[in-house]
Structure 1
Amino acid sequence: MDINAIEQYENSASDASDNAEVKWNFAFWLQNEKLIIGDNCGVNLEVGEKINHWIKENNLYYSDEEEDENFDKALKLGDEITRRFVELCVEVVKKFHEESVIKQKFGKALSLIIQELEYYDLIEEQNKRANTEEVIKEFADWILK
């Protein structure tokens, strides 16, 4: 989980190709370790255990040995884990907006960005489904530029 604050935005502006990159590319954001998905040995052990339980509950789990034995099957399972997890994130973000959770916490509607290390059309589409048009338009336009 990362955030972008005004002070961080201003401090990073000279390192980016343009202001939109500083604003939307999480490489320029404040980095923290409050939540790391897939962290099996650090500060988020309990979260990692819950995610592993969810993966097993959905019959998507595979071990390192199973990956070695059938890499293609493990790759497909990994893709399905990602697809379902992203869909879960989309639904949670939508619910946060519908119930005004973000607005109540921060005093205004903000985008909650679902992202990977790269930005491409699917990331734009996921975020448009998750967030309201008013808060996600600028991010979506930045991805598509």
Structure 2
Amino acid sequence: MIDLTDYLYNKIEPIIESWDEEGIYALSFLVHTNEGSENIPTFAISYNTEEDCEYSSQLSEQRWNYAFWRQDENEIIGDEESTTILLQWYKENGIKDIGYEDETLMYDDDYNYIGKGPNGFYERLQIVSNVAKRLHGNKVISNTFKREIPIIIHDLEYSWFSEEATKNGNPNGIADIFLEALRQGFPE
């Protein structure tokens, strides 16, 4: 069986350890399903620096919203090999109809979105969250950046389930400032 957590960790660790730019304050783990292009699941990592966000305030959208980041990504899942491994992992775990979302399960009686994204997305987020937690636990983050910094696990819309994955992947409140900015709708 495929150990997707190990596979991703082993791809990500050396990339993060190679980042030495000054002022890195957060990492991005962008988990996405490109619904406009063959519904292919992707996963890329990047970072932002104090200079990139012009030293903006702690809760600002410029600091935390990926749309404002440089988006100089390292692709982790997206090429043929990694996509094949992910699809095999889905198959081994009984996850079917990848990318499909049943509209009857998306909203509660009050029309609040309660879905977990397209099939396979939530499960992929959980794996990515476990990788983030392991990077912190193995001190890859603190050894590389000389302090703990948050790993923001997100999709393009900052869904409730990506917020949950970020919280779970960053022990001891490492991502609390980001989570507060998100809850407040990036108020500054």
- 2:90 pairs, out of 48, 55, 69, with 55
* TM-superposed deviation, 1:72: 4.1
Check conservation: 1:120, 1:143, Cα contact below 8 A: no
Q: CA RMSD in A?
A: 3.1
Distance 1:132 1:63 in 2: 30
Show the counterpart of 1:26: 66
Q: Number of residue pairs matched?
A: 129
Quick check: 1:20–1:142 contact (8 Å CA) kept in 2? Answer: yes
Higher RCO (C-alpha 8 Å, min separation 6): 2
* Paired position in structure 1 for 2:48: 4
- Partner Cα distance (2:93, 2:151) in 1: 26
d(CA) in 2 for partners of 1:86, 1:2: 16
Q: Percent identity?
A: 29
TM-score between both structures, scaled by the size of structure 1: 0.72
Larger Rg, first or second structure (1 or 2): 1
Indicate if the aligned counterparts of 2:98 and 2:118 stay in contact, CA closer than 8 A. no
Secondary structure at 1:3 match in 2: strand
- CA-CA distance at 1:33 after TM superposition: 4.1
Segments of 4+ moved more than 4 angstroms: none
Q: Where does structure 1 lack aligned partners over 5 or more consecutive residues?
A: none
